[in-house]
A and B are shown apart, each in its own frame.
Chain A
């Protein structure tokens, strides 16, 4: 079974702190994604990566950066946390866009991190 893990289930930080959210997958997936989920707004894509050291902006990248130094690990960084970044953060992974079989494009999600910024 695909396993996507996230470093914390719950996190409380103060405004201005630098925050690291870590995601690890064990299926040798090329693609990794970070989403945030907010009531009434649904899930929105922050950043994604299709290879080591590669990254692409999603729909709401402002205030975030990412790092992918190893294939299995994708980090989301809040350089200076703000209260409007209080949210549920979800990581996902999938095989390459050039996957040989279409069902390999399935995205698998981690358990999520609930971040509260005070």
Chain B
């Protein structure tokens, strides 16, 4: 089956630090989304990024579809960035396959 792997699985940062989260996927994708799941369980859309680079404030994402990976950059991290980050490539008709997630804890 389709494999989606995220690294690192866990990350602890000091407030203000930068980080890069990686998502590798085993097959060609139509699209890809990045989500942040907050401590209350809500999945929040961060990016829809089938290819190329997008930026939104302190966050940016890059997908290289031909090499089957995507990266999420978090700069100047804040405690509110804590939570779990998921990548979810779209395969076929909008079938999202979620990665295993990266659990981020930002300490003050």
A residues apposed to B, CB below 8 Å: 31, 37, 42-43, 45, 50, 88, 90, 94, 97, 102-103, 105-109, 111-112, 114
Residues of B in contact with A, size category:
20 to 34
Contact residue among B33, B86, B95, B99 (Cβ-Cβ distance under 8 Å from A106): B33
Some 5 contacts from A to B, beta carbons below 8 A apart, are A31-B94, A42-B99, A105-B31, A105-B48, A111-B42
Interface residues of B in 15-55 (CB under 8 A from A): 30-31, 33, 35, 40-45, 48, 50
B residues apposed to A, CB below 8 Å: 30-31, 33, 35, 40-45, 48, 50, 86, 88, 90, 93-96, 98-101
Given the known inter-chain contacts A42-B101, A102-B50, A107-B33, please indicate yes or no for A97 contacting B94, CB distance below 8 A. Answer: yes
Chain A residues touching B, majority SS: strand
For B31, B88, B94, B95, the residue with the greatest tally of chain A CB atoms inside 10 Å of its CB is B94
